[in-house]
Structure 1
Amino acid sequence: MRVTPSLRLTLTAVTGLALFVPVIHVPWNDPAPADAAPLSAQDIESAHDVESAYDVEPSYRELPLRQVSGTRLSSASAQTQPFGMVGVTWPVRASSAAVEVKVRVQRNGTWAAWERLTVEDDHGPDGAEGKQRSGTEPIWVGTADGVEASVTTTDGTTMPDAKVILIQPGFRAADNDPPATPATPEQPIQPEASRAPYGMPRIVGRPGWGADEKLRSHNGAACAKPKYTSTVQAAFVHHTADTNNYTSAQVPAMIRGMYAYHVKSRGWCDLGYNFLVDKFGRAWEGRYGGMQLPVLGAHTGSFNANSFGVSLIGNFDKVAPSAQMMEMTARIVAWKLDANYRSPLATVILDGSKLGTVSGHRDTKATACPGKNLYSKIGWLKQRVNALMGKSVSTEIYRRAQQHGGYRAIGQPFWGEHPTRSGRATYFGALDIYWSARTGAWSVRGGFKAQFRKIGPDGFLGMPTGEQRNGRVSGSRKQPFRNGALYWSPKTGMFPVAGLISRKYGALGAEGSRLGLPTSGMYKVNGGQQQRFQHGKLTASTRTQKVYIS
């Protein structure tokens, strides 16, 4: 793409600290750190060679601002290639409440009005991920080719090493029609005795908005691997404090721009939010790691653990969110809370503070987020989520968990209740519980849990049909499944027995028979399958459908 640069020189009266902007070009794709971890097959598949698909190529520039000594004026001259998003960052401050930032951009030779950017300390990571730079929220400007910026402080402090960030996230033909994951078919609200959790809504995954997964290694190899919190106890509602004037096709580019800003400009590992919702009512996957899992985000400083953040794209101090946005937000929150058995009308203690399970960002500290026109709808959101959840958090799996002693005994839900091909499952801290209409709800724990996860609830054993119990051989343990059982002893180890071999083994008396416990898994032989036991073998013939003892 041919770019015609522009040059402008202006003088602007400001108060406080005076800064100016010279031009420095920084490539979009910085080399990965030398210690970056190699990409996994999942990373490579997710990336989809996103760079080669751009009709307009991405770029990233950081322009340093410098104080003009002894004057109340700032001068800004910028010769730029077109960019779509702008933000300003500075070294980490304990509080940026005294920092005021304004920018204006040039489009087609005309300068837009100055706009104050939202200064936000409280979006960001906790702990080891670190917050390398403070800054504003970035704003989408469409297509601009010139910029002026001013940063002032009202507390008399200086502001060294401030930078204005210009991001061109690029444009792809796929941005016009991004694919979404299929929604779980909605079911009518069922009686409490047999109610499934609210299903997953349609969400555009990271490949759909063009996430460059290599960018997650930008701040070190440790960032490339997602981090998880222990459970989901609360939802925090945010706004991006961005423009409200964007098109449907611009949304993927806006998210790519936020991703680059959070990682390259602020020093985070990834996009801060777990989910985003646009004004057209579409949902988007944010931080990498699996939408169904409790991915640790960087959305609500000090409160990221055991929560997730959903951010509505726009500035809702200025306008009200659309009905489509609110409905999709409710569906995301209902899906996440219901899967983890949390009532949207309850309260929870996070970081020593009592908060609603559905809260606005400003409930945690003094911030305008999520904007007055969105915050005023939090009450409606809670009631809508409650209605979508059927005003209940009880399922067969939840009730089985309570029979086991509740969360204090079995740990919090980690992978919330989710569908399998034949039923549903929830992974708790200490055990997993599986349910199907044919088998009921049963737990799998200890070494049996790890082994069954490898096999899977839709594998050759089928769902569990009872709890783990002592076997007939002293010191042994066994657990029944629909198509067989798992057996363990200190001497023989753990092995599954399934299918025809399992039926014959059971008819002989299973571990109490002369065969004893299994000492291998099932393996193929000519004409069928075979399995070794302590005192013999069982061979299943594919031709005769009979099992022979040897």
Structure 2
Amino acid sequence: MRMWRIVLPLTASIAAVPLVAAPARVTVAEVVGGTMPGSPAAVLQAGTGPAPTVDSTPSLVALSAMAAAFPHAALRPTIVSRAQWRADETKRDPRAHYANGVTAIFIHHTDTPNAYDCADVPHMLRNLYTGQTRDQGWGDFGYNFLVDRCGNIYEGRAGGVDRPVIGSHTQGFNQGTAGIAAIGTFGRGTKVPAPMEHAIAALAAWKLGLRGVDPRSKVRLTSTNDKSLYPKGTSASFHAISAHRDGFATDCPGEALVARLPAIRDLAARLQGRVLREPARVQLSQALPSLDGSR
């Protein structure tokens, strides 16, 4: 019997973001438009719960099927679950709401201090969660995911990280999108930590890859209310990885993080196995920080 060996190419790797194989069970929806200081394991050893659970590797048959269905699927990064950062599930609405799929990402910042210890992030998340459920009345975390300065990724809104959960992050454009919040404040002149950038790119590459969306592409979204920059029912063009300010009257996610979005889009595309045009490849090598924080 001839033995076949399936090799899935990965054109870029990120030492700061531990990656695991994407789940074998992924639903195709209709298109609508390691270790380092402060790693999840280190954070959770500080008394916040058990170490993150890593998905088991899918079988060769599952990997082959996934590769055929999602030729530009990216590996799923490690995500610290709500249970692991000890979210109080009694505070949220018991029912999650879902779109047909995620075709765009909106990047936010939490507008909180930057000089935090990553071991304290679970406590910070619980405070943010209380504010968004009790004070904002959003029924749960508004963001689908949050990323800290050490590159750790946290589950925000409940409902399943691999599902198209509708959040409360971008007025008028929560349907069919995911909100990723960088923990901190990133106004002009602020340095965006390299591990944070890499984690945002890895997370966006995975979520958009579930629908085959190129992170460098443009998508069309339709405003669902009149509180956004576009009247209800208006169809508008957005980057697949956009800033909060692109859809709502706000400075979020800050000038510094907005300036990094082109490099984040390019890195996310590389993680999906997409070949960059030569000018973009040169720009990427010049723009992206190294893992030791140098530019």
- TM-score scaled by length of structure 2: 0.67
Residues 128-167 of structure 1: matches in 2 within 5 Å? none
Residues 408-487 of structure 1: matches in 2 within 5 Å? none
Relative distance call for 1:252 and 1:194 in structure 2 (3 A) is closer
State the Cα distance separating 1:183 from its structure 2 match: 6.1
> What is residue 58 of structure 1 aligned with on the other side?
none
Residues 88-487 of structure 1: matches in 2 within 5 Å? 174-175=47-48, 179-182=51-54, 195=71, 197-216=73-92, 223-317=93-187, 319-351=190-222, 352-391=235-274
> What is residue 72 of structure 1 aligned with on the other side?
none
SS at match of 1:253: helix
Deviation per CA, 1:52-83: give whole Å up to 9, x if none.
Answer: xxxxxxxxxxxxxxxxxxxxxxxxxxxxxxxx
Alignment-mate amino acid for residue 213 of structure 1: E
Kindly indicate whether the alpha-carbon contact (under 8 Å) linking 1:184 and 1:200 is maintained by their aligned counterparts in 2: no
State the Cα distance separating 1:353 from its structure 2 match: 1.3
Alignment-mate amino acid for residue 174 of structure 1: G
Alignment-mate amino acid for residue 225 of structure 1: R
Relative distance call for 1:366 and 1:206 in structure 2 (3 A) is same
State the Cα distance separating 1:358 from its structure 2 match: 0.8
Deviation per CA, 1:151-184: give whole Å up to 9, x if none.
Answer: xxxxxxxxxxxxxxxxxxxx99523x76223267
State the Cα distance separating 1:321 from its structure 2 match: 1.4
Q: Distance in 2 between matches of 1:286 and 1:298?
A: 11
SS at match of 1:377: helix
Q: Looking at secondary structure, tell me which structure has more helix per residue.
A: 2
RMSD (Å), alpha carbons: 2.6
Deviation per CA, 1:273-301: give whole Å up to 9, x if none.
Answer: 00000001100000000000000000111
Alignment-mate amino acid for residue 331 of structure 1: A
Kindly indicate whether the alpha-carbon contact (under 8 Å) linking 2:45 and 2:51 is maintained by their aligned counterparts in 1: no
SS at match of 1:231: coil
Residue-pair matches, total? 213
SS at match of 2:108: strand
Alignment-mate amino acid for residue 256 of structure 1: R
Q: Distance in 1 between matches of 2:193 and 2:55?
A: 21
> What is residue 513 of structure 1 aligned with on the other side?
none
State the Cα distance separating 1:366 from its structure 2 match: 2.9
Relative distance call for 1:193 and 1:302 in structure 2 (3 A) is closer
State the Cα distance separating 1:346 from its structure 2 match: 1.4
Alignment-mate amino acid for residue 205 of structure 1: S
Q: Looking at secondary structure, tell me which structure has more strand per residue.
A: 1
Relative distance call for 1:328 and 1:173 in structure 2 (3 A) is closer
Deviation per CA, 1:254-291: give whole Å up to 9, x if none.
Answer: 10011100011111110100000000110000000000
Kindly indicate whether the alpha-carbon contact (under 8 Å) linking 1:244 and 1:314 is maintained by their aligned counterparts in 2: yes
Kindly indicate whether the alpha-carbon contact (under 8 Å) linking 1:182 and 1:201 is maintained by their aligned counterparts in 2: no
Q: Distance in 2 between matches of 1:276 and 1:340?
A: 21
Q: Distance in 2 between matches of 1:301 and 1:240?
A: 16
Residues 485-504 of structure 1: matches in 2 within 5 Å? none
Kindly indicate whether the alpha-carbon contact (under 8 Å) linking 1:178 and 1:209 is maintained by their aligned counterparts in 2: no
State the Cα distance separating 1:344 from its structure 2 match: 1.0
Relative distance call for 1:172 and 1:344 in structure 2 (3 A) is closer
SS at match of 2:256: helix
Residues 36-75 of structure 1: matches in 2 within 5 Å? none
Query: Which fold has the larger relative contact order, with Cα–Cα distance below 8 Å and residues 6 or more apart in sequence?
Result: 2
Residue identity (%): 36
SS at match of 1:291: coil
Alignment-mate amino acid for residue 355 of structure 1: F
Alignment-mate amino acid for residue 53 of structure 2: T
Gaps of 5+ in 1: 1-170, 217-222, 393-550
State the Cα distance separating 1:365 from its structure 2 match: 3.0
Alignment-mate amino acid for residue 121 of structure 2: V
SS at match of 1:341: coil
- TM-score scaled by length of structure 1: 0.37
Relative distance call for 1:228 and 1:193 in structure 2 (3 A) is closer
Gaps of 5+ in 2: 1-43, 58-62, 223-234, 276-295
Alignment-mate amino acid for residue 267 of structure 1: G
Deviation per CA, 1:465-502: give whole Å up to 9, x if none.
Answer: xxxxxxxxxxxxxxxxxxxxxxxxxxxxxxxxxxxxxx
Relative distance call for 1:350 and 1:280 in structure 2 (3 A) is same
Q: Distance in 2 between matches of 1:254 and 1:194?
A: 36
Kindly indicate whether the alpha-carbon contact (under 8 Å) linking 1:319 and 1:373 is maintained by their aligned counterparts in 2: yes
SS at match of 1:204: coil
Q: Distance in 2 between matches of 1:303 and 1:388?
A: 26
Kindly indicate whether the alpha-carbon contact (under 8 Å) linking 2:46 and 2:119 is maintained by their aligned counterparts in 1: no
SS at match of 1:309: strand
Q: Distance in 2 between matches of 1:232 and 1:194?
A: 14
Kindly indicate whether the alpha-carbon contact (under 8 Å) linking 2:101 and 2:164 is maintained by their aligned counterparts in 1: yes
